[in-house]
């Protein structure tokens, strides 16, 4: 049975070409393991594992069972001044998975809320230390930190900003992005060239004086703008410059946390410890919306002053630490550990990289990038129709090849399941190649 046209018409879809979509709606009605089921009865392989969310696969039995049990036991609990048992349990699991020194975590409902929460924590931290003059926030060109005002302001993807005029947060600067076709086209993993891009922070510190900068926020590996791994030495350099000026370093790990790059956190994989780590997506395997912000112990301790009955952080959401989301999170984190998911993911990297880079030299491809199980493939845009070729690939994959491939404009993005079978990664790229070989 197909969704009635009035229903399709009523929904204003996010980040979607609504008018184009509604001509031939792509509607998903079920999922199991590595597949979606469509309303016309087909089974599609999900080559994007949700939206970077569902690394363990869809409808993972352990998470389904935990959610069902929790919703029947405690469907909601207030989270201010009292909270459900489950959120404490999840907090401990998250911090135990983290590198040493991060023992406190704050819960949100999304990556966007995590971005804004982390920026507020940074500002509040400096104020609590009597450095309230540190009000400047620094993001990076091509960065993505969600769609709320804080994240949008520090974000650096032009289409996400330009339609909303100049009314973004004041006192925000952007570092140069690190993508460089001339030096780094077709790099495998981290590009060897480009650590010096971090020195752009010195420029901003010279301009504003470093003592006025509160925080720098970056994705350790940029995802939404097309998978931009950090050049070798770049994150280390950024950490050094932040330390030199007392600037907090925030890693937005909404994509990279929980196995996407073969470790619990990118901080661990790169051996660079930020002050604040944002997460979402894999926290619950995408099953229930949830995000989190984890901080170095000293940041939390700095807030713990004043009278004991006083609230230390005037921030929180009605659904912060929602018990059903927390139950999903506990089950997901247990599954990651017991199923050895991060090791599995790491073990697939080489095969994924080799398959992805087999597109080098294809006439419609201009660059390929990868890190962990994140892959980006740039297509030549059609003249005067930016994004058209990418969207056509997505649609042909959906309708003709029974596979879901995400396009961000003319960039194809790949995020295989962390527990993929190598042959499914091969199959994904065979299908994409077939489509690319048959479009103009
Ligand atoms: C790095 C990063 N930060 C923030 C977000 C926003 O997350 P959400 O869509 O859950 O608000 C995303 C989403 O893809 C992301 O990749």
Same domain, 87 and 194: yes
- The proportion of the chain whose per-residue pLDDT surpasses 90, expressed as a percent, equals 97
338, 356, 376 - which closes a domain: 338
Please state the atom number of ligand 1 nearest to the C-alpha of residue 255. Answer: 16
Q: Identify which has the larger pLDDT, 165 or 132.
A: 132
Q: Using alpha carbons only, give the angle 61, 63, 65 rounded to the nearest 5 degrees.
A: 65
289 has pLDDT over 80? yes
Indicate the SS3 state at residue 108.
strand
Average pLDDT, stretch 285-303?
A: 98
Same domain, 123 and 81: yes
Please state the atom number of ligand 1 nearest to the C-alpha of residue 111. Answer: 7
Whole-model pTM? Answer: 0.98
321, 338, 355 - which closes a domain: 338
Write out residues with Cβ below 6 Å of ligand 1.
Answer: 110-112, 115, 144-146, 219, 223-224, 252, 254-255, 280
Pocket of ligand 1, candidates 52, 146, 251: which has the most ligand atoms within 8 Å of its Cβ, to mutate? Answer: 146
pLDDT class for 5, splitting at 50, 70, 90? confident
Closest CA to 338 of 56, 27, 16: 56
Strand partners, 369: 376
Same domain, 180 and 288: yes
Task: Write the DSSP assignment of 4-57 as a string of letters.
Answer: PHHHHHH---TTS-HHHHHHS---EEEEEBTEEEETTS-EEEETTHHHHT-TT-
Average pLDDT, stretch 410-439?
A: 98
| CATH value at residue 396 | 3.90.1150.10
Average pLDDT, stretch 244-265?
A: 98
338, 366, 401 - which closes a domain: 338
Indicate the SS3 state at residue 413.
strand
Same domain, 290 and 159: yes
Would you say 329 and 90 are in contact if contact means Cβ atoms under 8 Å apart?
yes
> Is the CA virtual torsion 252, 105, 55, 326 positive or negative?
negative
Q: At what angle do helices 200-208 and 234-245 cross, to 10 degrees?
A: 20
In the chain, how many domains are there?
2
Pocket of ligand 1, candidates 15, 111, 154: which has the most ligand atoms within 8 Å of its Cβ, to mutate? Answer: 111
Indicate the SS3 state at residue 292.
strand
Give φ, ψ of 426 to 5 degrees: -60, -45
Average pLDDT, stretch 100-104?
A: 97
Would you say 417 and 374 are in contact if contact means Cβ atoms under 8 Å apart?
no
Domain range enclosing 27: 5-56+343-437
Pocket of ligand 1, candidates 50, 280, 292: which has the most ligand atoms within 8 Å of its Cβ, to mutate? Answer: 280
Separation of CA 130 and ligand 1 centre (Å)? 31
Same domain, 254 and 237: yes
Residue count (the chain): 440
Same domain, 258 and 289: yes
What Rg value do the Cα atoms of the chain yield, rounded? 22
Same domain, 361 and 245: no
pLDDT at 1: 59
CB-neighbour burial class of residue 21 (10 A; exposed 0-12, middle 13-18, buried 19+): middle
Same domain, 92 and 107: yes
Average pLDDT, stretch 212-236?
A: 98
Separation of CA 111 and ligand 1 centre (Å)? 4
Same domain, 98 and 45: no
Six-digit token string for 385 = 């129709």
Give φ, ψ of 17 to 5 degrees: -80, 90
pLDDT at 167: 78
Residues 6+ apart with CB under 8 A from 23: none
88 has pLDDT over 70? yes
Q: Identify which has the larger pLDDT, 189 or 440.
A: 189
User: How far is CA 67 from each of CA 47, 250, 329, 331, 418, rounded to the nearest angstrom?
Assistant: 25, 31, 9, 9, 21
166 has pLDDT over 80? no
CA distance 290 to 326: 8
Closest CA to 207 of 151, 138, 120: 138
Average pLDDT, the chain: 97
Average pLDDT, stretch 66-70?
A: 98
H helix and E strand count, the chain: 17, 15
Same domain, 82 and 179: yes
Same domain, 132 and 209: yes
Indicate the SS3 state at residue 200.
helix
Ramachandran sector of residue 59 (left: φ over 0; alpha: ψ -120 to 50; beta: rest): left
Strand order in the sheet with 35-38: 28-32, 35-38, 43-46, 403-404
């Amino acid at each position: 049975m197909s969704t009635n046209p009035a229903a399709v018409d009523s929904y204003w879809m996010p980040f979607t070409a609504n008018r184009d979509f509604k001509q031939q709606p792509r509607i998903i009605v079920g999922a199991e393991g590595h597949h979606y089921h469509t309303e016309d009865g087909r089974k599609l392989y999900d080559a994007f594992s949700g939206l970077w969310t569902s690394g363990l696969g869809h409808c993972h039995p352990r998470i389904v069972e935990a959610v069902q049990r929790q919703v029947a036991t405690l469907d909601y609990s207030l989270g201010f001044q009292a909270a459900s048992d489950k959120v404490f349990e999840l907090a401990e699991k998250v911090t135990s998975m983290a590198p040493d020194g991060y023992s406190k975590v704050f819960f949100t409902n999304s990556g966007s809320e995590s971005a804004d929460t982390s920026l507020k924590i940074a500002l509040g931290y400096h104020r609590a230390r009597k450095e309230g003059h540190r009000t400047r926030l620094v993001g990076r060109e091509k960065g993505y930190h969600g769609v709320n005002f804080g994240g949008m302001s520090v974000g650096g993807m032009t289409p996400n900003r330009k339609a909303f005029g100049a009314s973004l947060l004041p006192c925000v600067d952007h570092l140069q992005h690190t993508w460089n076709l001339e030096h780094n086209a077709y790099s495998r993993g981290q590009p060897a060239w480009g650590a010096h891009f971090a020195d752009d922070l010195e420029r901003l510190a010279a301009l504003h004086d470093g003592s006025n900068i509160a925080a720098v926020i970056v994705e350790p590996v940029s995802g939404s703008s097309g998978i931009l791994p950090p050049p070798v030495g770049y994150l280390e350099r950024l950490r050094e410059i932040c330390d030199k000026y007392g600037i907090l370093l925030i890693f937005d790990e909404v994509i990279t946390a929980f196995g996407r790059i073969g470790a619990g956190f990118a901080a661990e994989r790169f051996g660079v410890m930020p002050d604040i780590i944002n997460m979402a997506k894999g926290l619950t395997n995408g099953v229930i919306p949830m995000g989190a912000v984890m901080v170095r112990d000293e940041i939390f301790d700095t807030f713990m002053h004043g009278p004991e009955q006083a609230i230390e952080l005037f921030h929180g959401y009605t659904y912060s630490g929602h018990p059903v989301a927390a139950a999903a999170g506990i089950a997901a984190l247990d599954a990651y550990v017991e199923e050895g998911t991060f090791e599995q993911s790491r073990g697939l990297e080489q095969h994924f990289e080799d398959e992805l880079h087999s597109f080098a030299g294809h006439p419609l491809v201009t660059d390929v990038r990868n890190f962990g199980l994140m892959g980006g493939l740039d297509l030549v845009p059609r003249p005067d129709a930016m994004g058209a070729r990418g969207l056509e690939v997505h649609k042909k994959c959906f309708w003709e090849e029974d596979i879901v491939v995400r396009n961000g404009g003319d960039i194809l993005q790949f995020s295989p399941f962390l527990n993929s079978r190598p042959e499914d990664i091969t199959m994904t790229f065979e299908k994409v190649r077939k489509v690319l070989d048959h479009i103009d």
